[in-house]
Structure 1
Amino acid sequence: MTRPDHPLPSLDDFVQDTPWRGDAPPAPLPSPIEGVVIEPLAVHSDKRGDLVVLLSQLHAPVEEIVHVYRVTARPGSIRAWVYHDHQSDRLTYTEGRFRVVLYDIRPGSPTRGQMQVIHAGADNPLRLTIPAHVVHGVMNEGEGDASFVNMPTRAYDPANPDKRRMPYPDARIPYRFED
């Protein structure tokens, strides 16, 4: 709504932001599963709140961003089991408390049969890149709703989803979230 009795600010009334140092992100963490990349995310806080860079070409090239979505998880909810044939998931956890389980079932993989459990969220913000054919599941371990963001390497195709599911639990995947 325009107020004719109130003058508009000019472009010159605004002050240039202080340059951001753009510090290099923390080094990736080791993973027992080949191709999985675990990258801690730096949290920049001030009195207004936090800023977390989820994905950027500031320090290194990244695969094109083609699709971005946010998932909300109710307390205690489990989303398992799933893998993709072609895409890698790039999951970012910055709030709540999640347990992410990875299981390598890739034929010919040197880490076939390896499992990894990762705790992520507000206390451990990170970006997790999961390559094709690595099974994964996630549980909200917190007391309230929480969310995470995915920036997969392929856009979602509603006519031909790149997602394969198996109901949880299944004895062939030796992990129980309730344990």
Structure 2
Amino acid sequence: MKRIEGVLTKMLVKHCDDRGFFMEILREDDVLFGQSGHFGQASISLSYPGVIKAFHYHKLQDDIWFFPNGSAQVVLHDLREHSPSYGETNVFYMGEGAPYLLFIPRGVAHGYRVLGAQPATIVYFTNLAYDPKQPDEYRLAYDDPEIGFDWNTKFR
């Protein structure tokens, strides 16, 4: 599988002691912000087990995703016609057991499915604030035939 051009990941480091832990998520001098330009908005959402939230993309907005709780299967599909990875699909497994950030460039469709028996929380950062008068959100069905992703878990 070819990695989608412009998609970045950043492993996060937990600093643990007998009181709990501390973990930086994102800083203004982070290389991920260098990709997106500047900070626009931070949001949080919780989804229940088995829920699929897919697909959507943006023409102007870049996203940075983080799942602090639960577990999710994240699917990206490159819709950018002039990208060297046009038409590629990438899958990432994110959550408590895999604490990292995922930078999703504009023009890359994205969505996720909650795995396991617990809800998943997503915290995401964007380079633009949401404008309800001109929303930069374009939707595709979770089972869009051009993407052709099978969300069913396979058992071997």
Same fold (TM over 0.5): yes
Structure 2 counterpart of 1:92:
66
- Note the alpha carbon deviations across 1:51-83, whole angstroms, 9 max, x for none: 221111356583432211001110011000110
Query: Are the equivalent residues in 1 in contact too, given 2:49–2:117 (CA < 8 A)?
Result: yes
Counterpart CA distance in 1 for 2:7 and 2:48 is 26
Q: Given the alignment, which residue of 19, 22, 30 partners 1:51?
A: 22
CA deviations on 1:124-174 (whole Å, 9 max, x unpaired) are 111111001101110110211120111101001011111100122122111
- Residue 80 of structure 2 corresponds to which residue in structure 1? 106
In the TM superposition, what whole-angstrom CA distance separates every residue of 1:31-52 from its partner, at most 9, and x where no partner exists? Answer: 7110101111111222232222
Answer whether contact 2:8 2:32 (CA < 8 A) is retained.
no
Q: What residue is the counterpart of 1:129 in the other structure?
A: 103
Q: Is the 8 A contact 1:66 1:154 kept in 2?
A: yes
Q: Which has the larger radius of gyration?
A: 1
Partner of 2:124: 150
Equivalent pair of 2:67/2:120 in contact (CA under 8 Å): no
Do 1:79 and 1:138's aligned partners in 2 also have CA atoms closer than 8 Å?
Answer: yes
Structure 2 unaligned spans of 5+ = none
Matched residue pairs, number?
A: 149
Structure 2 counterpart of 1:57, which letter? E
The one-character-per-residue Cα deviations of 1:71-123 (angstroms, maximum 9, x if unpaired) are 11100110001100101001112221111001112111111111111001111
Distance 1:172 1:160, change over 3 A: same
**1:83 maps to amino acid:** Y
Residue number in structure 2 paired with 1:3: none
Q: TM-score, normalised by structure 1?
A: 0.77
Q: Which has the higher contact order (CA 8 A, sep 6+)?
A: 2
Q: Which stretches of structure 1, 4 residues or more, deviate above 4 A after TM superposition?
A: 58-61
In structure 1, the gaps of 5 or more residues are: 1-30
Aligned to 1:138: 112
Instruction: Normalising by structure 2, report the TM-score.
Output: 0.88
Decide which structure has greater strand share. Answer: 2
